[in-house]
Structure 1
């Protein structure tokens, strides 16, 4: 009996020690699990952070690639602008050369026009002289482009050319054999330049060969008066008898 109790006591004592060891194991396991959970949480956090950083990295790479594409395009634009600058510079140089060449030409054109007017029939003298003076003043102006100057000179030539196809009448003061007087002048193209006093008592014409005004006989009195009225749109255009000199005979 005593032996059984002793054996039971030993057994119970061993069970208590085993239970204590088991609890220690469970405690250690729980601590390990806690550490594992903490480690996993850190791993998960690091994974999320890594994914975020990877996403940001990819975004940055895309932005860098976009900037590279933009820079390449910008470099092309800059290269094109440089090429345009060179072309513009060359064009400016060419324009400068053209202006140097065309300016003497324009001056010669004005001189030629002035000589033509001086040798032409003496009609609209003040108007034509003012036009020539205006052209010469224009040539001295730096604010007028060479193209505009050339255009104005061509326009002056065109006006002079149109005089040869028009019939005009205007009042003017001329020097006749009877002295200076105010008359009505009739210009018919460049084939006749005639005058008549306002009272119709005197009629004359420009004699190219003599370079002066000469009186006409009374047979021209009515035709010239009608011609003046035609030029002023006061009478319908009709046939006119004009004092036109025939061609000179060359022997």
Structure 2
């Protein structure tokens, strides 16, 4: 079918318009696509930044969580330590209370011990006066020292009591030991050098240096009794044993049988 020139012109015009419209639409689509891509890039960049912030916050959170756990462990340890310290403190307070009570009791005991020691010294003095008179100076000095000690304030009560008990122990030991010492004694009307021999408290004898006079202490009469010369050998042997010049051996010596 043949178109008129006017129709052809209309068709051409329509086609041109469509081409322009299509081109405009394509341009618009391209522009819109560029905007979408740009927005997508912005979103990606924002998301990346957000992820970095999230990662940073997560790291910070993990660090804080670790610090929190560490602090919690320290708190648990401190609580255990505090409980232990409180238990020790309670025990120390209880000990302090006991010490305070003991100090009160010590003060009471101390007030009672001093009179007791005085009575013990008086009793010991009476015992020595009634005992066999060996080592008179030594024993008298010991008693005098105890009496003087009781008047001193620079010696603790415990030390005083120890020394009193020590004096008692010395007197006890005299009853189970053998001993010899030299001294002066009036014999046959004149003062002579003699050797004293003590065997426990059952025999207390003397012998002059020349061996001519022997004697036994008689506790009942409180005096020396002459001994016959037959005891000289045994007494000399006993003197040597007491001086540790002979080994211990069986000896025959006179005994004081007084009660």
Instruction: Report the TM-score, using the length of structure 1 for normalisation.
Output: 0.80
Return 5+ residue gaps in structure 1 as ranges: none
Aligned residue for 2:3? none
Aligned residue for 2:230? 222
Aligned residue for 1:238? 251
Separation in structure 2 between the aligned mates of residue 175 and residue 107 of structure 1, nearest angstrom:
35
For 1:44-83, list aligned pairs within 5 A: 44-83=55-94
The list of structure 1 runs, each at least 4 consecutive aligned residues, that deviate by more than 6 angstroms after superposition, is none
Separation in structure 2 between the aligned mates of residue 79 and residue 116 of structure 1, nearest angstrom:
52
Greater C-alpha Rg:
2
For 1:8-27, list aligned pairs within 5 A: 8-27=19-38
Contact 1:169 1:184 in 2 (8 A): yes
The CA deviation string for residues 195-233 of structure 1, in whole angstroms up to 9 with x for no partner, is 33222333344454554445x2xx612314531431322
Separation in structure 2 between the aligned mates of residue 146 and residue 8 of structure 1, nearest angstrom:
131
Shift of the 34–153 alpha-carbon distance from structure 1 to 2, 3 Å rule, reads same
Separation in structure 2 between the aligned mates of residue 78 and residue 118 of structure 1, nearest angstrom:
57
Separation in structure 2 between the aligned mates of residue 43 and residue 191 of structure 1, nearest angstrom:
108
Return 5+ residue gaps in structure 2 as ranges: 1-7
Separation in structure 2 between the aligned mates of residue 157 and residue 13 of structure 1, nearest angstrom:
136
Q: Does 1:107 align with 2:118?
A: yes
Moved more, 32-41 or 147-156: 147-156
Cα RMSD of the aligned pairs, angstroms, is: 2.9
Q: How many residues align?
A: 243
Shift of the 228–24 alpha-carbon distance from structure 1 to 2, 3 Å rule, reads same
Instruction: Report the TM-score, using the length of structure 2 for normalisation.
Output: 0.78
Moved more, 18-27 or 158-167: 158-167
